[in-house]
Amino acid sequence: MRRHHLQGKKPTMTMTMTADIPTSNRNRLAGYYAIRAIVSTLWVALAFTIGKAHPTLGVALIVAYPAWDSLANYVDAKSNGGLRANPSQMLNVVISAIVTLAVAVAATRDFHAVIAVIGIWAALAGILQLSTAVRRWRTAGAQWPMILSGGQSALAGAIFVKKATDATASLSVGDVAPYAAFGAFYFAISAAILFLKRR
């Protein structure tokens, strides 16, 4: 009787596991974050210049800010499986759209009401951004700046609401500009990380 001896042979079929992120995902997200950083930086520049010099244009910039956020989240969600697959972004789209209208209405009263609405929006949008970043942690990469940005946005929202309650404070679009500048900074970091990983 012939005997077959297996002398510690290992199976020929192996499974390789990688935490690498698909190049297409990196490219798309890097471009998205870069565009958001550029638009936010441009908005900040306009807010500190013509926005402060001309209050009417400042109101227009404030109205445009949540409108742009709604559009950006919609485009991002649609390119990642749709709104239903991205519930936090779907909520962000809806909330930002509602806030756009609310800011336009609040602007007919005074800027304190505008800042109060922006504060509530910043807090909600920050929580939703943080939620999106946590969900994307394993599949997208470069999410730690988005998590920091979301947390800081929620904190900034509380500060805005507190400012709005001070009737003696002189408020303008310039009060929102630093908040937008930090957002641009975090988007730029995420874009840079993904671009470097692509290279």
- Distance between CA 12 and CA 32 in Å, rounded? 42
Give which of 24, 38, 89 is closest to 191, Cα–Cα: 38
List, for residues 70-81, the tens digit of each pLDDT value.
999 999 999 888
Note whether 154 and 127 are within 8 A (CB): yes
List, for residues 103-147, the tens digit of each pLDDT value.
999 999 889 999 999 999 999 999 999 999 998 888 777 899 999
With a cut of 90, say whether residue 32 has pLDDT above it: yes
pLDDT of residue 49: 95
Provide, rounded to the nearest whole percent, the portion of the chain with pLDDT above 90. 70
Dihedral angle over CA of 26, 135, 63, 75, nearest 10: 50
User: What mean pLDDT, rounded, does the chain reach?
Assistant: 87
Q: Phi/psi class of residue 8: alpha, beta or left (left: φ > 0; alpha: ψ in -120 to 50)?
A: left
pTM equals: 0.84
Higher pLDDT, 110 or 9: 110
pLDDT of residue 12: 43
